[in-house]
A and B are shown apart, each in its own frame.
Chain A
Amino acid sequence: MADALQIGTSGLLAFQRGLTTTGHNISNASTEGYSRQSVTLGTREPGLIDGNYLGTGVAVKGIARSYSNFLAEDLRVGTSSLGQFEEAAEMAARLDNLMADQDRGLSSQIERFFSALQDVGNNPTSIPERQVLIGESGALAEQFHQLDGAFNALNSQVNDKLSLYVDEINQHAQSIAELNVAIGYARAVSTAGAEPNDLLDERDRVLLKLSKLVSVNVIEQDAGVANVLIGNGQPLVIGGVAETIGLNIGEFDPSIQRLTYQRSNGTTTNITNFLTGGALQGLVDFRDNMLNSSRQQLGLLASGMSEVVNAQHGLGVDLKGNLGGDVFVPFEAETIENIYNRGSAKSATQIADISLVQATDYQATYNGAAWDVKNLKSGEVTVGNGLMAIDGLEIEFSGEPVYGDSFLIRPNYRAADYFDVAIQAPADVAAASPLKFSGSLANSGTAEVESLVVNSRSDLPLDNPFTLTFDNSFGEEGLPGYVVTGGPGGFLPFDPAADFAGKTFQLEGFGDAEIRLSGKPVDGDVVNIERNTEGTGDNQNLHALTELRTKNSLLGKSTSLQDIFALSVSDVGIRTRQSQLSLETQEVLTGQAENAYKAKSAVNLDEEAANLLRYQQAYSAAAKVITVADEMFDILLSTLR
């Protein structure tokens, strides 16, 4: 009877634990990261009575959480990837939105600039049209600044977020270290070696949050300690100690911040390129691949615009008869020294041929004997010393470099920001050609100049006019052609019978002019070429300027100004789309990992309701056992009375 009473009591106690645990599960059904717990029951040690082992009731063997290390690891990996793609997609969408209306913004402003050029061409002497052209040039600069400013704002957002995430990572690391200590202590004080389930859940929850920001490698040790590694093996948490990561200004550009790992011994390591996964990498990827690329493309458009427009404008003459000045402020390529350089090396970069310049940055690193200049977009490396010509750039190195010293070369990154109007007065618009030609009225033949195109500023403005005089039989061989008197001199062979439809000659110097002659001249016919003075009604240079709109003048003469921008927009569109697709795929994958994890660990209320019923019934039954034992005792007493 006493045994039955004890057995009943053991049941009551065990099922009470069961009810408590079920209650705990129900209460925490919505707690993030909570793993459902269950009571493990076992029989108590049986007693040997009359040669038989007689059961002595039930005992609580332990309270375990439903948890799989493997599923948790899977979820953390998935969460890191998701964090990375979410961040990248979110930032990409902002850039995408920025470019959405640009067919009405920058692109149409470029068209307005070229339209204004043509309006001046329609009316070359008129000042108001020239004023409008200068106004449209200013508006173009505005558009460049606005878009570049928006890019810059996105870069600031990247920096703000980086700093926020770095703080969060450090906080999480601290929490994990503290939890490691608490878990170790809890395990030590439990005599039966019980697991502190709720503390373990808490640490898993923080680890998951951490892995959303950065990919982590969790190594569990005995005594319940979880060590956390990031990057390529930098320990973030070791036992109860948390290291910190930080943000430093970029070695080249303060606004391009770098992630550093700070050891407790005071050393810092740049780990920007070692981090994988997580929102941090999403941000860095967005900045280094998408945002910088868009800025470089916009910069190439800006520097290309100013370079080619200036070049052509310089081949014209303005209302005062002077050769054209710059329309836009010329952009100089940037060469930035690494702040950690130890040698005395200097470097400078010139844009030698804008048509070959790529929309990318370059990093030059001294390898001990020569400079490795790496195209940061294609990865192509050119090795050299002194003056190096790469992609239309002339990069010059001097001084005494030390191994590892480096420079960042940015041929166009800031060009949109620096883009500005140089031309001030309407009269400075160089609409006219610097040379003009005329046939003498005394000519008996039909000698004609079809076109005279100036290609350089050499020998311009022309000091003295020169003449082409037709000679039926020149020199010993008696060739027909034009004798050039003055200017470049020489003889231009021209056979009226064969060449009357037109023949083109290239002059040496004197504007490197291309002259196309046609017609049937007769002996003694004269063509005069002179400086275009008072040619206020001439619009030839404006035609040449207008043609720049569609002329393939950039990226190896494969792309026009207008195309560069379209290219940039489509680039952003494609990359945004890619990042969205990656995100959607990752959402599915991570969703599966999460489902598997939750299927194992999370609470199902129906299940708990059933457990509640089960334990309640068992509790009632155990209580009944006590009642029966009590009655048995009563019967025994009444018999003895």
Chain B
Amino acid sequence: MRISSNQQFQQGIDALLRQQAKLAETQEQLATGNRILTPSDDPAASTQLIKLSALSAANQQFDRNIVFAQNDVDLSESKLKSAGDIIQRVRELVVQANNATNSDQSRSAIATEIENNLYSMRDLANSKDATGDYLFSGFNATTKPFVKEGSGYVYKGDQGERFLQIADGIQIQVRDTGTEIFQKIRNGDGRLRVAIPDSNQGSALVNLESTVTSLVGTYSIEFFEEENEPLHYRVLNEDGEAVVGATLYEPDQQVSFNDINVSVSGSPVAGDKIEIEPSEFQDVFTTLQLLVDKLKAPIASAPPNSLSNHLTQSLQEMDLVLDKFLSVRSSLGSRLQELDTAKGQNADEDLRLQRSVGALKDLDYAEAVSRLNMQMTGLQAAQQAYVKVQGLSLFNFL
């Protein structure tokens, strides 16, 4: 085949240029450490990289959210711990107050201390977070949740619970409402409560323990005396039907019916009644306020043993408050645990993402360096060949 001199020259030059272009690309790969310089180098991997870096950014945000959530939950937890301490102290005071040797004055002192604890409890319930929002007012973050209206405390917040997103599709509750923590606490023994009318003349001491599972109506234990008969009692339901018929009263009487146990001691007199009602939600402030009011009243003005009966029931109610706080705290604890787990998973996920990014994007240096060497050798050879071939000419011999 005939080859023109121009062609020979051009082909040599083209070969050099091609080698140089390849060398330059390898050089840039080595300089940046990236295998992919533009999307066309590997379109599929480029798309993956964009998705991976988006995932990684989302992950970092989830990490931030988790820290926020941890702070929030921690804060609630510490507030509830303090609240529990307050109730413990009040419980001790109630035990102390439930002692016949106390004078009106010492009871009043106890009442004052309980009142102070009530204020502490109110302040706790009205706690703010780092940004100045109320912790326990639901979504009404800027509304003070518990304020005194009349004789009791009113909840001004709502029942909104704040969640934060800690992973794709996973939200975790970080705030509990004042309603949930401080209001939704049952009085009495949690199922039923005892109400002793002020009209009672006797000095019955009442202690209620029930194991009812479903809601029951109201009952009334009535004491009565027939002519020349000793003291009897009977139990009537809300329709006036006898649940327990006329039974002779003996001191330390156990009255049992429908899974309800009422132990009655002391000396009831005919005409006395003991009302048993379904328990209701009673916020912790009302519970404490009632205690304070009872303790402040001079004992002489009240029916005998009425204070003692109230304190007995209060002790049950203190336990219910503590139960409530503990249950919320254990929920908070499990959330903290969940957050820890999520954080760990996030870190793992991040590592996995980094690894994937590396696998897609990072240059295999060993391969690239050996390729560089090969290309340099190739270029050198092309240069030498070019010079040699171009030196060949018949004119050299003329």
Contact = CB atoms under 8 A, between A and B. Distances in A.
Interface of A: 29-30, 92-93, 96-97, 99-100, 102-104, 107-108, 110-112, 114-115, 118-119, 121-126, 432, 436-439, 441-442, 444, 522, 532, 534-540, 543, 546-547, 549-550, 562-563, 565-567, 569-574, 576-577, 580, 595, 598-607, 609-610, 612-613
Given A108-B57, A573-B43, A609-B398, A598 B50 contact: no
- 8 smallest A-B Cβ distances: which pairs? A537-B141, A602-B4, A573-B43, A573-B39, A576-B40, A111-B57, A535-B139, A609-B394
Interface string B137-151: 111111100000000
Interface in B272-298: 278, 280-281
22 contacts: A96-B39, A100-B38, A108-B57, A115-B60, A121-B65, A122-B68, A125-B141, A436-B159, A438-B179, A534-B142, A536-B142, A538-B139, A539-B162, A562-B54, A569-B46, A572-B43, A573-B38, A573-B40, A574-B43, A599-B4, A602-B6, A604-B2
Interface in B194-210: none
A93 B165 CA distance: 41
B140 A537 contact: yes
A595 B54 CA distance: 51
A107 B142 contact: no
A436 B43 contact: no
B42 A537 contact: no
Given A114-B61, A536-B142, A609 B393 contact: yes
A549 B54 CA distance: 10
B159 A438 contact: yes
B5 A567 contact: no
Given A123-B131, A125-B142, A538-B139, A570 B43 contact: yes
A432 B164 contact: no
A573 B6 contact: no
Contacts of B398: 609, 612-613
A539 B140 CA distance: 11
Contact of A550 (B40, B131, B168): B168
Nearest to A616: B398
Given A97-B38, A119-B64, A436-B158, 10 more contacts: A29-B6, A118-B165, A123-B131, A124-B141, A537-B175, A543-B171, A549-B58, A576-B40, A577-B40, A606-B393
A532 B43 contact: no
Nearest to B395: A609
A99 B42 CA distance: 13
Q: Which of B61, B65, B159, B215 is the most central at the interface, judged by chain A CB atoms within 10 Å of its CB?
A: B61
Contact of B47 (A100, A567, A607): A567
Contacts of A111: 53-54, 57-58, 61
Contact of B133 (A125, A540, A550, A613): A125
B184 interface: yes
B131 A439 contact: no
B183 A441 contact: yes
A537 B137 contact: yes
Contacts of A598: 4, 6-7
Contacts of B61: 111, 114-115, 118-119
A87 to B, nearest CB: 16
A599 B6 CA distance: 10
A52 B350 CA distance: 105
Contacts of A93: 38, 40
B42 A573 contact: yes
Given A543-B163, A569-B47, A112 B57 contact: yes
Given A96-B38, A121-B164, A534-B143, A566 B51 contact: yes
B300 interface: no
Given A436-B158, A563-B51, A576-B40, A603 B6 contact: yes
Interface string B117-143: 000000000000001111001111111
Contacts, number: 200
Given A543-B165, A609-B398, A437 B5 contact: no
A595 B162 CA distance: 76
Contacts of A563: 51
B3 interface: yes
B1 interface: yes
Given A437-B159, A605-B393, A115 B57 contact: yes
A604 B3 CA distance: 7
A9 B245 CA distance: 163
B contact residues, range: 35 or more
B49 interface: yes
A373 B99 CA distance: 94
Nearest to A522: B215
A110 B29 CA distance: 28
B366 interface: no
A111 B52 CA distance: 12
B212 interface: no
A534 B144 CA distance: 12
A123 to B, nearest CB: 6
A572 B6 CA distance: 38
A555 to B, nearest CB: 15
A107 B139 contact: no
B246 interface: no
Contacts of A536: 133, 139-142
B44 interface: yes
B37 interface: yes
A418 to B, nearest CB: 24
B43 A107 contact: no
Contacts of A576: 38-40
Contacts of A432: 139
A85 to B, nearest CB: 14
Interface in B284-336: none
Given A522-B215, A566-B47, A107 B54 contact: yes
Q: Which of B160, B280, B281 is the most central at the interface, judged by chain A CB atoms within 10 Å of its CB?
A: B160
A562 B51 contact: yes
B133 A570 contact: no
B394 A570 contact: no
B158 A438 contact: yes
Given A102-B50, A118-B61, A569-B46, A606 B394 contact: yes
Contacts of B183: 441
B237 to A, nearest CB: 18
A547 B171 CA distance: 11
A356 B169 CA distance: 25
B133 A537 contact: yes
Nearest to B51: A566
Contacts of B50: 102-103, 107, 562, 565-566, 569
A207 to B, nearest CB: 19
Contacts of B58: 111, 114-115, 549
B140 A534 contact: yes
A532 B164 CA distance: 19
B4 A537 contact: no
A35 B134 CA distance: 93
A100 B53 CA distance: 14
A98 B140 CA distance: 48
Nearest to B52: A103
Contacts of B51: 562-563, 566
Nearest to B53: A103
B202 to A, nearest CB: 32
Contacts of B158: 436, 438, 532, 535
Contacts of B47: 566-567, 569-570, 573
A97 to B, nearest CB: 6
Contacts of A595: 7
A542 to B, nearest CB: 9
